Structure 1
Amino acid sequence: MVSRTDITTFHDPPPPPGESPWVGGYVPAVGVDVVEPDPAWPLAYDAVAALVREALGLRVLLLQHVGSTSVPDLPAKPILDVDLVVADPEDEPRWLPPLEAAGFVLRVREPWWHGHRCLRLEDPAVNLHVFGPESPEPWKHRVFRDWLRADADDRELYARAKRGAAAASNAAGEHTMAYNARKEAVVRDVYGRAFAAAGLTDGG
């Protein structure tokens, strides 16, 4: 069972020595494109959700639209982030082949981080994050999303951080991982208020 402490603690373990999260020689592309919010993103998620459910059926334990494209009025990279919870991410033969047949490509495998896998779909552009039932990450993502949907001030704060991080990363010729690091302090700050509002920490 996922605990309150699990949800409110940030777990960022590095890859074990000699291990890489990237699959098949994939590396993140240089350049970060943060665009104005698109009202079509929720509709695109609905189509992706239908595709995943058709592929996996009852093996889908949880499916949710997360990340900036799930928050109205928030600028974002034009790539949908979707969380999928399956019974066991390590048991890839049970869930990966049907998703590959539906057009998803495995790009990231991080068994040391809550069993995380990330698959990419190109049209529409999607990062499908796969976790198991014991992972706190889908809970984190949902709390963050719901807080940003509700709080205009933090939504604007995060928008400024995203634009600034993208501009700095693009000027330095960096990829998405560096962009994420540039906005991490603001993300953690917003998470603090989101956790409190959800009653997960004192003050909520």
Structure 2
Amino acid sequence: MRSLATELIGSVPRRVMLLIIILSINGLFLNYLIIVLSAYLPELGVSTETVGLILGAEGLSMAGFAIPLGVLSDRRGRKWILIVGTIGATPMFFVVASTLNPALLVIVGVLGGILEGAFLATVNAMIADQTTPENRDSAFTLSFILGGMGTSLGTAIPFFIPSLQGILGLDKHAVHVHLLILFGLFSLLIPMALYFLLRD
């Protein structure tokens, strides 16, 4: 088992490996945010209808813009569209941490969906561009594995909230706010890391 993992990792170019790791971390941030939107906001008094509207607006804008942004990336290049796409979560983190205003939450959901559409439209194509036919399957396999780990870890963060409450001496709301701000700040590093990684 270990040799298979070593072989898989060793066959993927270093640049692609770093790209996959960065994007998996981005996935961790996004999935924590989705958990907050869907499970925690109703605890704060945001109606389930409003939560559904936020998530629906995000999903529709993501689906609506993914195809045209994918076409644009084919014509103009993928690098900047991917970089801009990874900015999508940042405003959502800060808005969710600072307000429960339904209108603002829906607006930032639409904006986040558009930028996530840019991310989804380019990420797999970018990995394909950075690999050869010989190592492409390994790169996509690794992307699937690490992406799944990022998703799982992001989803699991709420399980640690009670422990963080005890360690930090904060209530549940304060812990979530601190995590949202912290992840929002960290998410700013994702596009910068991609810029330096993908520069020619």
Same fold (TM over 0.5): no
Structure with greater strand percent: 1
Structure with greater helix percent: 2
What is the TM-score normalised by the length of structure 2?
Answer: 0.29
Higher relative contact order (CA 8 A, sep 6+): 2
Larger radius of gyration: 2
